[in-house]
A and B are shown apart, each in its own frame.
Chain A
Amino acid sequence: MINVAQFACDVAVIGAGPAGIAAATVAAEAGKSVVLLDDNFGPGGQIWRGGKPSDKELAAMQWLGRLQRTTARQIFGASVFQIQGNQLAAETLHDAFCVSFKKLVLSTGARELFLPFPGWTLPGVLGAGGLQALIKAGLSVAGKRIVVAGTGPLLLAVAAYAREKGATIVCIAEQTSWTRFAEFGLTVLCSGQKFVEALKLLWRTRGVPHWKNSWPVAALGRAGVESVRIARNGKQREIACDLLACGFHLAPSTDLARLSGCKLEGGFVAVNNLQQTSNPDLFCAGESTGIGGLEKSLIEGQIAGYACAGQLDRARDLAPARAATQRNAESMKRAFALREELKFLSEEDTVVCRCEDVPFGKLRKHASWRSAKLQTRCGMGPCQGKVCGAAGEYLFGWETSTVRPPVVPVTCSSLAAFSASGTSESIEGGLQ
């Protein structure tokens, strides 16, 4: 029989980005036993990922410091693959373990939305946030020519970051219109702190061509990307580059929430004023309830943490701040809504599902995600549709609602370990 480590706690938090850090910190400060899990190799999520401590902003240093002063147990490199009732199962590179909890906070954040276009599978074509994450994990971009494309405020931030690391940003191709971008600028202008940040970003990217109404049509190259064709003002031009960093804003990571039966609204996890989901013991905070950035995540994380600790007054005190960050989220959603043209970039042989190499031509005939999965293996590879599922929702209007355990690929020994620890029913049930 295989022994699995078992932890019991008052509050488990999945995802150690700003929302999860805030939730774990305030719950632990309130005297609750807390387990904080993340599949990355350290705390911070994507926004505060890695880098040297001096690179981190003040808020990051404050929150990370506050977290370290609590008794919250932090486990990194751990992928949660199953949640059943008040227990979750996770796997690390070396072993598997189980956590039972009274309350659970899902602060799983968001991932970049990737849309297929010819050549997007070439090495050297990566996400905008993807590029930033790789630079923080040691990738040198000094002397590299980089085209940044897609949509959202992340493009500017990534361009600024890569430039400071020695890259030449050839251009930023933003798909949204000048009008929408300007409207977003106005909202930012009215929000104080964010305005200062925006000005800093503009200064850091001064001199870089920042096109609107522009998007990548194709990435070209042999063994890797050598150039990108950009559509702009009805014309196309080919631009030489070493890397193409391309992301179409963010899609919420709702896999674990859906696995746990939490209701969604408009693709996001539905929560009440206390960040409580339709499952009373489960709370959700941060980007998975609406893409709103750092402030929203920190506020919602604290609300969830206080609520889990039973400090409802403190949770409710944050309601006005929460409302303000949610208005920002709405304005961002309008500003970076995707244009119709992006639905028609793929050619018949353009791969949409990268795990199983399923081309666009085979997918467009299907009326539903389920039908496509059954007949083409789309979404059935290791990423479990985390990339092509979101693309399919946009391209074909499919709903990718079903989530079954294990949510991420795990070893048979981890599954076996859970059979031994008494959670086998759920796993077998999921595989039927």
Chain B
Amino acid sequence: MPETVVVSVGGKNVQVPVGTSAAVAAIIAGEHCRTSVGGQPRAPLCGMGICFECRMKINGKVHVRSCQVICTDGMEIAVDD
């Protein structure tokens, strides 16, 4: 069994393998990352920190590119925030 960490995505606790990015944790939790200014749900596009579509509030910091952050135990990832 791979080692796992537990993070909270939009208030839901999800268990993810060590090394998982916050963006992927959102996908595992079945959540999109943000809602666009026109009201569309958006999820990761580039996966490498360019497009900012995966930006989320992580541990209280807003507009963090979740694809560039590795999940740590107890991390709080907020959707649409």
Contacts and interface: CB of A to CB of B under 8 A. Distances in A.
A353 B49 CA distance: 16
B37 A356 contact: yes
Q: Which of B25, B38, B69 has the most CB of A within 10 A?
A: B38
Interface string A136-147: 011110000000
Nearest to A388: B51
Interface stretch (A126-134, A270-278, A319-327): A126-134
A322 B50 CA distance: 28
Given A114-B45, A130-B45, A354 B24 contact: no
A50 B68 CA distance: 12
B49 A354 contact: no
Contacts of A129: 46-48
Interface string A38-60: 01110000100110000000000
A111 B61 contact: no
Interface stretch (A29-37, A176-184, A378-386, A420-428): A378-386
Nearest to A123: B43
A190 interface: no
Contacts of B57: none
A297 B69 CA distance: 26
Interface string B24-53: 110110001000111011111111111111
B74 interface: no
Contacts of A305: none
Most chain A CB atoms below 10 A, which of B24, B36, B45, B64: B45
Majority secondary structure, A binding face: loop
Interface residues on A, range: 35 or more
A77 interface: yes
Contact of B24 (A121, A123, A137): A137
Contact of B55 (A124, A224, A382): A382
Contacts of A355: 37, 52
B45 A354 contact: yes
B47 A93 contact: no
A124 to B, nearest CB: 7
Contacts of B49: 39-40, 79
Listed from nearest, the 3 A-B pairs whose CB atoms lie closest are: A138-B20, A133-B47, A123-B43
6 contacts: A39-B49, A126-B44, A131-B47, A134-B23, A138-B24, A223-B41
